[in-house]
Amino acid sequence: MLSPNFQVASFEVEEYNQQPIGITYKFAGSDKCITKELFKPGSSFPNTKSITFDNKLGDVELMVHYTDTAVLMQGLPGQIAQYNIGEGKKEEKTEKYSFCMRVSNNIHNVPSLDEVEFIQEWTEEEKIPVKASPITPVPKPAEPKADAAKEGESKPAEGEAPAEGEKPAEEKPAEEQK
């Protein structure tokens, strides 16, 4: 494929899991062991599966293993890995909590515990201080003068006729203008 002298059609190699892989877990204080199949035969790898437990703090024993239906070579153990996971500490304000495990089947088809997470949720009300601005007096608008023209209107210049709708300025007799 890398040679410039030959052309090869594009192809993709996809690997798949031949043996079923499962987990068995048991929480502290419980006699119940639960087994689940995570990676079925024919599933591609690398692959990651998440298992979430609501209202659990952790404190669990986890075993990753081949399931009972797996056809293994003679002498090969069925157990792959075993983990003891401690208990998470719940805070007082926590309203909802959960415990999450991520198990991954890596590029070499070796399953392992990838990550464990204790998730807590709560509602927090945050008060934001509001700064009051000093109140400044609002200036009063100036009263319009009687002689001043209204906004948008203009007085006609001397010798011009007033525009339609406008009344000509009244002239006062000379005696009153003193």
pLDDT category of residue 163 using cuts at 50, 70 and 90 = low
Distance CA 93, CA 16 (A): 45
pLDDT in tens, 74-117: 888 888 888 888 887 877 777 788 888 888 888 888 888 888 88
At 117, which amino acid appears?
A: E
Cβ neighbors of 152 (< 8 A, separation 6 or more) are: none
Structure tokens at 65: 């293993």
CA distances from 85 to 19, 101, 120, 162 (A): 26, 10, 17, 96
Kindly state the DSSP code that residue 46 receives in the 8-state scheme: S
Phi-psi category of residue 75: left, alpha or beta, with phi > 0 → left and psi -120 to 50 → alpha? left
Band (pLDDT 50/70/90 cuts) for residue 170 is low
Nearest to 57 by CA among 20, 82, 32, 27: 27
Q: Which CATH class is domain 21-121?
A: mainly beta
pTM over the 0.85 mark: no
Residue with tokens 């009051």: 132
